[in-house]
Structure 1
Amino acid sequence: MSLTAEAPALDMAGAEAFAENVGGVLNSGAVAVMLSIGHRLGLFDVLAALPPSTSAAIAERAELSERYVREWLAVMVMGGIVTYNPAAKTYDLPAEHAACLTREAPLGNLAVYAQAIALIGQMQERLLACFETGEGLAYGDYPCFHQFMAEDSGQTVVPQLFDVVLPLVEGIAERMEIGIDVLDAGCGRGLALIEMAKRFPNSRFTGYDLCADAIEFANETARKAGLANVRFEQRDLTGYGEKSRFDFITTFDAVHDQKDPQALIGGLRGALKPGGVYLMQDIGGSAKLENNHDFPMAGFLYAISCAHCTTVSLGQGGLGLGTMWGWETAKGMLEAAGFRSVERLVLPHDPMNVWFVARV
């Protein structure tokens, strides 16, 4: 009688189906990297502006090498993004595809996020070491990170800032018209704060961010705009302890990757004057893995978390909660910080993010 359990019989059909699925994942990943290259080079914008054209005409308009453009176009054709007419040897980006791939895309430019896939590839060797040591990395270790985040903010926050975002906080626009003190913590390149400073000249705006390159960019942008009511400062918000200084504080996708999110939220709570309001945007996934199967782009977000958000938190000696720390976690931290009321909002057109309005 055998004393060991027999290995289960291999379901060959199931194995082959899974292998085909993995092949599709690899193919899509390669196309995603090429999406990033096309976005960075402006090729989707060129294609959208041209009628069906040859690779030579496309390359000439984009001021790029024809041979490289032709090979890139082949990837786009195989990926179902660009169509190809073999008789005329012309390529075309259908309007329905351009609607989510150009800088003026009405559905938002998804090619922006392809840059994250390329970035993960660039960070692979350093991430391998992190897996072995358990250590993390610094924000500055990631090339072009603030450019990517500024593009993200430029299409998810800034365009809807005055019509959608600020109206989430009842009466805040009217208060800014009169004149109040506003902080954006983790402001990056400061795009949202600069737009608010332009709209509300009677208010005073401050932006803090850990990264010197982002702050330098923000200050230069504000200077060129001639804004005297906004300032940006490089600042590590670990142990942040200003008291009763601001009437309104915002964070846009900036809390989950901090060293100690609970301490930061508590610090922001203390920095609000009586009657002050904190508006917090973050990723709206659940803290429970099993709840995220149907969450938009959940695999992508967990990958970003593994490659960046968890990693930079651990690199600061932090908790490493990650991108998908969960709206439940965020809400619990806001309540633990002692806000008088905490309101959770999800916008119908943007199921990926969650917004909290927390009042002192």
Structure 2
Amino acid sequence: MTIQESYTPEMFAEHLVLMLNHASTTVMIALGHKLGLFDSLEELESVSSRELAEHSGCDERYIREWLSVMVTAKIISYEPMHKTYILPKNYAMFLCRKYSPDNIAVTSQFIPLMGQMLPQLEKSFRSGNGLQYSDYPCFHSVMAEDSYQTVVCALFDHILPLMDDMTERLQWGIRVLDAGCGKGLALLKLAQEFPNSHFVGYDLCEDAFAETLEHAKALRLTNIEFQARDLRDFHEPESFDFIASFDAVHDQADPQALLDGIYRALRPRGTYLMQDIAGSSYLENNLDHPLGPLLYSISCAHCTPVSLGQGGPGLGTMWGEELATGMLQAAGFNKIQKHKLEHDPFNVYFINRK
């Protein structure tokens, strides 16, 4: 049964109205996250709009209207007699910073970001042209916060244990590359934890990792470096023992060239970890994907345009595990393992050995 056959006209209208409510609420969740309002609500427990405004450093009239959104969306409880608001404890764990990696408010930021891109996307749809990373306001910070939850918070307990003796090798001292490192928070964490290893981050955009580079200098770390690199020309034979890329390959101008370069750059017995979106290369297999609409929307608004903007193939966010496996094999990897982690069911971790 197709989706057009799933609803009566009345049911479909109700479906659209529900989507409008959810979409507008999501934008307000993103705003509340950026302003720290959920964190303040949990700290204060039962609070008036004026108390929340004072605690968060915001204007009371704006706070009162924002709270009205949260109450009607059934996210915050309201006591009319005392005009006080409460964020239930079992909701706070999905909305407050201290509960990372479970904070869904972080991911909500992609919705207003996509909204800001509507004028440029309309032009791209008509012209077929792509976009540049610099066209997206605050993209690097939003992506870094999202990646922090899925990758950085899970590095030592979940991700490194996927690779046999990798923790021990990092302790002894090896050479590591993060290809498409973005802000480089995972690399910074590794450099702090494993002083005997050397860590290199490559990304197309220097402004993505500039702040982290300064932080590393302030910490006097001598085992980490970053470079702005177009990874289409990645050619460093047998230079690294461990290479990782986190949600980066499908955005590249030439994903296959990057994977080919990564294979060449690994030393004998080297390991390549590729984290990417869990899903199929075939739309019909993604009809019940719990985040299908969101992931295809992010693909339409960001991943496809930035690849096309570099002259790339525009694989998109949902390039899929089948295509990813085939491209890894084409690069030379014939020892491929796939893992999904309990804390991160929406990504797949490919472990590839040379």
CA offset digits 1:43-97 (Å, max 9, x no partner): 0000011121110011010010000010111111111111111111111110111
Whether the aligned pair in 1 keeps the contact of 2:101 and 2:150 (CA below 8 Å) is no
Aligned CA-pair RMSD: 1.2
Q: Where does 1:242-321 land on structure 2 (aligned, <5 Å)?
A: 242-321=236-315
Tell me whether 1:151 sits opposite 2:145 in the alignment.
Answer: yes
CA offsets per residue over residues 262-284 of structure 1, 9 Å max, x none? 11111111111111110110001
> Structure 1, unaligned stretches of length 5 or more?
1-10
Partner residue, 1:73: 67
For 1:214, the equivalent position in structure 2 comes to: 208
* Deviation by residue 1:323-349 (Cα, 9 ceiling, x = unmatched): 000011111111111124111111233
> Which residue of 2 is the match for residue 22 of structure 1?
16
1:85 alignment partner in structure 2: 79
Partner residue, 2:192: 198
1:1-360 map, 5 Å: 14-105=8-99, 108-360=102-354
TM-score (norm 1): 0.95
- SS at 1:104's partner residue? helix
Mapped contact 2:251–2:315 kept (Cα < 8 A): yes
Residues 146, 214 of structure 1: 8 Å contact kept: yes
Amino acid at match of 2:203: D
Q: Which amino acid aligns with 1:91?
A: Y
| Contact 2:250/2:303 (<8 A) preserved | yes
Distance in 2 between the 1:156 and 1:345 partners? 14
Contact 1:218–1:232 under 8 Å retained in 2? no
Contact 2:180–2:201, Cα closer than 8 Å, also in 1: yes
Worse-matched range after superposition: 129-138 or 332-341: 332-341
Deviation at 1:106, TM superposition (A): 5.7
Please tell me whether Structure 1 or Structure 2 has the larger radius of gyration of its CA atoms: 1
Aligned counterparts of 1:186 and 1:92: Cα–Cα separation in 2: 41
Residue correspondences, number: 349
What is the deviation of 1:116? 0.4
Instruction: Tell me the percent identity.
Output: 54
Take 1:288 and 1:278, find their aligned partners in 2: how far apart are those partners? 25
Q: Which moved more, 1:225-234 or 1:98-107?
A: 98-107
Aligned amino acid, residue 136 of structure 1: G
Moved over 6 A (4+): none
Higher helix share: 2
Listed as ranges, the gaps of 5+ residues in structure 2 are none
Q: Per the alignment, in what secondary structure is the counterpart of residue 242 of structure 2?
A: strand
| 1:99/1:107 contact within 8 Å kept | no
Structure 2 CA distance for aligned equivalents of residues 221 and 282 of structure 1: 27
In structure 2, what residue type is equivalent to 1:311?
A: P
Give the TM-score normalised by structure 2.
Answer: 0.96
- Write the deviation string for residues 269-304 of structure 1: whole angstroms up to 9, x where unpaired: 111111111011000111111111222311101100
